Amino acid sequence: MYETMKTSTLWGLRVSGPYLHDGRASTTEAVIQGHEGEAKNSKDRFLKLTSDQQAILVEFLKSIWITLTTGPTGS
Ligand code: HEM
């Protein structure tokens, strides 16, 4: 039997820190660099990018947002 873990969503990343279960990462760059295990490949690929490419990716991640359009205040 596999153990599964539901990680938190990336929506609203720019306001959801500090990150990781113990809050040890305070920036988007730090949370990516905090990945190990199955996620190490993603971290290594991030670290191989140029600093400009890293900055573009981080800006993209921070831009992911959701606006509720239904419900008590949105309908
Ligand atoms: C560049 C790609 C990725 C980004 C931007 C990313 C982003 C994040 C963020 C922001 C968190 C913190 C969530 C929180 O504090 O509540 C997180 C945690 C986590 N991510 Fe990722 N992730 C990436 C790739 C991956 C991959 C490929 C895996 C697994 C194969 C993974 C597994 C996890 C796990 C298990 C946690 C929880 C770790 C902990 O709380 O200590 N991530 N990730």
Q: How far is CA 47 from CA 4, 33, 34, in A?
A: 27, 8, 12
- Identify the pLDDT of residue 1: 67
Minimum-distance ligand 1 atom for the alpha carbon of 5: 35
pTM equals 0.85
Rounded distance from Cα 1 to ligand 1 centre (Å): 22
Is 43:36 a contact under the CB 8 Å cutoff?
Answer: yes
Q: What is the pLDDT of residues 4-57, one digit of tens each?
A: 878 888 989 999 999 998 999 999 999 999 999 999 999 999 999 999 999 999
Which of 5, 15, 35 to probe ligand 1 with, by most ligand atoms within 8 A of CB?
Answer: 35
Rounded distance from Cα 72 to ligand 1 centre (Å): 32
